[in-house]
Amino acid sequence: SIYLVESFHATAIGLGIFSSMYFYPYAVCQPFVGVLTDRLGGRRIIACFTFIAFLGCLLFSVSREMVSASLGRVLVGIGVAGAFVPSIEILAPLFQANQFGLINGLLMTIGTAGAIGASVPLAASALHFGWRQTFLIIALATLTLSLLAFSVIREGRKSVSKGGTSNGGEGRSSLKDSIRLILRDRYFWLKGFLLFFIFGTYITFQGLWSYPLLVGVYRIDGIFASKILMTIGIGFISSSVLTGFLSDRIFKSRKLPIVSLTGMFAMTWWVLVIYLETLNRNALVAVFFFMGFAAGGLNPILFTMVKELLTEKGVGVGLGIGLINPSAFVGVAFYQTVTGYVIGHGSAVQRLSSTAGYRNAFLLCAVTSLFAFFLTFFLKETYPRTQ
């Protein structure tokens, strides 16, 4: 984000809006990706959408103005929208129901490992070669992934109905009936609100404001700040697999870990709000780690609950995940735009170093995270007792 400020003279508000342009297209595409995945299969969707992401990275790397850079970010948002849902669709038939929490956690871990592995090299590459050359390299790597996805991925057998659903039981309903059945379920909406509040705030902090906070407020150099940021990903990874295993094998519950981790997540926000000016580096590392740990455990368990709900209703996994996944990214777009306004408030970019601006923005995140914790008590347990 610092490089974008320098290259495009962006304000904090503009930076928040620009960053959100990745998430709106992602969210809009999710239901369509779900339907296409159920009908065409995950391999084709992953390969085609990854190619769109390549085009977006390429355009972004050569952009000289904010408009073309924003269009590139939109294309990236559309492209990566075709990764998660097809992956769940491919994995779902391959494992037993009481193993899916762990498998989903492993999927999240692999993705986050990529983010961790890229954070310091990305910062170093942008520092030494420039952000444009760095994104050109990312574009070429994305093109390679698209080709590999099409040629390497193999899908298990599944039955796909005319309604565009799969992996269900007998009496498969039509696409329209399936959508109606899903959207009428109050627990489906409850999980959607949790994704909105939790991952809207988490990704906003991790992806947009954590680095400017460390550099602008705490005066930490860029490379060391990137190392601190890695602790968020380390926490996410360590929790994704562990929580999935505990949920599947030890607790035999989905609701218990979600209630506990949402409480932990809300606490990290309140620590940031109350002690923002006095946190030392060790305290920052701890806060970042536990925020990542909480989010890392919540993500796979929430989506596992959605998958189990869909299985119970006999509708396609791709369709259901595609309908609920936008909740998280609409949340990200909302929080990035609003916090950008709160932190910048129409003034110059120097407000990125304003402690008051960050505290006010984080207070919004803290209050809504606490509300999310309250909502978790109304969740319905979905752990498959018959397994």
Helix, strand, coil share of the chain (percent; to 5): 80, 0, 20
Q: How confident is the model at residue 268 (pLDDT cuts 50, 70, 90)?
A: very high
**C-alpha R_g of the chain:** 20
Whose CA is closest to 229, among 258, 262, 205?
A: 205
More confident residue, 161 or 249: 249
- The C-alpha atoms of residue 338 and residue 208 are separated, in whole angstroms, by 12
Q: Which residues pair with 160 in a beta bridge?
A: 166
Give per-residue pLDDT as tens, 100-116. Answer: 777 888 887 887 777 66
Amino acid present at 98: N
Whose CA is closest to 352, among 66, 70, 16, 20?
A: 16
* CA-based torsion, 306, 307, 311, 315: positive or negative: positive
Which burial class, exposed, middle or buried, applies to 155 when counting CB atoms under 10 A from its CB (0-12, 13-18, 19+)? middle
More confident residue, 19 or 338: 338
Q: Say what the pLDDT of residue 147 is.
A: 96
Domain boundaries, given as residue ranges, for the chain: 1-152+175-377
Of the listed ranges 1-15, 36-50, 64-78, 132-146, the least confidently predicted one is 1-15
Average confidence (pLDDT) over 343-356: 60
Residue 293 has pLDDT above 90, yes or no: yes
Residue 169 has pLDDT above 50, yes or no: no
* The pair of three-digit structure tokens given for residue 279, joined into one six-digit string: 């946190």
- The C-alpha atoms of residue 176 and residue 323 are separated, in whole angstroms, by 13
Residue 359 has pLDDT above 80, yes or no: yes
Q: Say what the pLDDT of residue 171 is.
A: 39
Q: Say what the pLDDT of residue 295 is.
A: 94
More confident residue, 126 or 336: 336
Tell me the average pLDDT of the chain.
84
Average confidence (pLDDT) over 186-200: 94
Q: Which residues pair with 349 in a beta bridge?
A: none
What pTM value is reported for the model?
0.76
Average confidence (pLDDT) over 212-238: 88
Q: Say what the pLDDT of residue 127 is.
A: 79
Q: Say what the pLDDT of residue 21 is.
A: 82
The helix/strand/coil state of 22 is coil
- The C-alpha atoms of residue 319 and residue 324 are separated, in whole angstroms, by 9
Q: Say what the pLDDT of residue 102 is.
A: 79
List all residues 6 or more positions away from 241 whose beta carbon is below 8 Å from its beta carbon: 102, 105, 106, 109
Residue 56 has pLDDT above 80, yes or no: yes
CATH topology (fold) of 1-152+175-377: Growth Hormone; Chain: A; (1.20.1250)
